[in-house]
């Protein structure tokens, strides 16, 4: 199965259900349903710099056209070509209405279970796949990377010995932070942007590495959630992977953070007071909350 996306005026959409053996005509029909651009009027571009695909033979296989997993097809409409009725009129009508909708950047809430960072990163790098059971694998991955490079990941960097850190990060009650985001950015070869709702700033991990992909998280001082761009009231899957040249999405993320700050949807980790919603114990600051979670397994806190 090929993992493809298409970009048109209506936005960027996943293009599922195709393999290297699928015919060009099948892909064009799927693109027509997604974008509302009729097959006869389609102009398809691929690669960088974008090159036009030869659409003269609809029976050609996608593999023969040089289409591979991870590619994004640009769909343009050639208005000089006559439009014919589509065999999927209902789908095209639906797509035209979707095209008029404005995609918005939104928070996708994940559980506050000590593994929100790992769940959030997995969600965005996998293109919107929610898997609450991914955390142990990601913790183990980080531990393996750290253990394999004790020179780079020394005590001065980690705040503990390399071995102690590897044992620590594997524990399910351990919270992830900047070190783990940096490691995952390198592993997934993408820029991970974390927008902070208290300071309304964006920390960009992997910014200078030359990556072409960008994903975004939002952070309130304790909890991470993934950000996704979606069309309201639409069945089209959300977009979680962006180009590193897409600065519009960064501006949208800052707008989200600023709105959250104005609504005081953040936690000052040094001075905030909490109450454990499980046993009702009062707590002060991030350190006490972590220790309480470690001792009791309680992870449901409310700010007082």
Nearest-angstrom CA–CA distance, 44 and 52: 6
- Smallest Cα–Cα separation from 191: which of 172, 200, 204, 177? 204
**Cα dihedral 60, 64, 67, 73 in deg (nearest 10):** -30
The catalytic residue positions are 113, 116, 223, 298
Beta-strand ranges (E) seen in the chain are 4-8, 11-15, 42-46, 51-52, 72-77, 104-107, 191-196, 201-205, 213-219, 224-230, 242-243, 273-276, 282-284, 301-303
| CA distances for 184 relative to 172, 210, 217, 226, 291, angstroms | 17, 15, 13, 14, 25
- Beta strands 191-196 and 213-219, pairing class: parallel
**Would you state the structure tokens that stand for residue 207, as one six-digit string?**
């910014």
């Amino acid at each position: 199965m090929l993992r493809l996306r298409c970009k048109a005026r209506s936005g960027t959409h996943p293009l599922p259900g195709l393999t290297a053996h699928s015919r060009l005509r099948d892909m064009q029909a799927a693109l027509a349903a997604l974008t509302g651009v009729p097959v006869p009027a389609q102009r398809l571009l691929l690669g960088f710099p974008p090159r036009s695909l030869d659409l003269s033979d609809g029976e050609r296989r996608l593999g023969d056209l040089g289409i591979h997993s991870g590619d994004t097809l640009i769909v343009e409409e050639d208005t000089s070509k006559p439009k014919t009725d589509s065999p999927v009129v209902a789908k095209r009508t639906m797509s035209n209405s979707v095209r008029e909708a404005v995609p918005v950047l939104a928070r996708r809430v994940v559980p506050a279970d000590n593994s929100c960072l790992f769940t959030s990163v997995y969600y965005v790098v996998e293109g919107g796949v929610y898997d609450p059971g991914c955390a142990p694998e990601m913790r183990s991955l980080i531990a393996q990377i750290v253990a394999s490079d004790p020179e780079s990941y020394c005590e001065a960097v980690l705040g503990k010995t390399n071995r102690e850190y590897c044992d620590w990060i594997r524990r399910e009650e351990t919270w992830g932070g900047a070190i783990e985001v940096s490691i995952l950015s390198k592993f997934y070869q993408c820029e991970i942007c974390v927008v902070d709702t208290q300071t309304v700033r964006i920390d960009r991990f992997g910014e200078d590495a030359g990556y072409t992909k960008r994903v975004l998280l939002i952070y309130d001082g304790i909890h991470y959630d993934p950000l996704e761009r979606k069309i309201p009231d639409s069945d089209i899957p959300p977009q979680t992977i962006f180009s590193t040249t897409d600065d519009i999405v960064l501006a949208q993320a800052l707008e989200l953070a600023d709105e959250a700050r104005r609504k005081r949807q953040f936690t000052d980790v040094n001075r905030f007071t909490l109450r454990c919603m499980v046993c009702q114990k009062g707590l002060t600051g991030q350190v006490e909350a972590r220790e309480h979670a470690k001792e009791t397994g309680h992870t449901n806190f409310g700010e007082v």
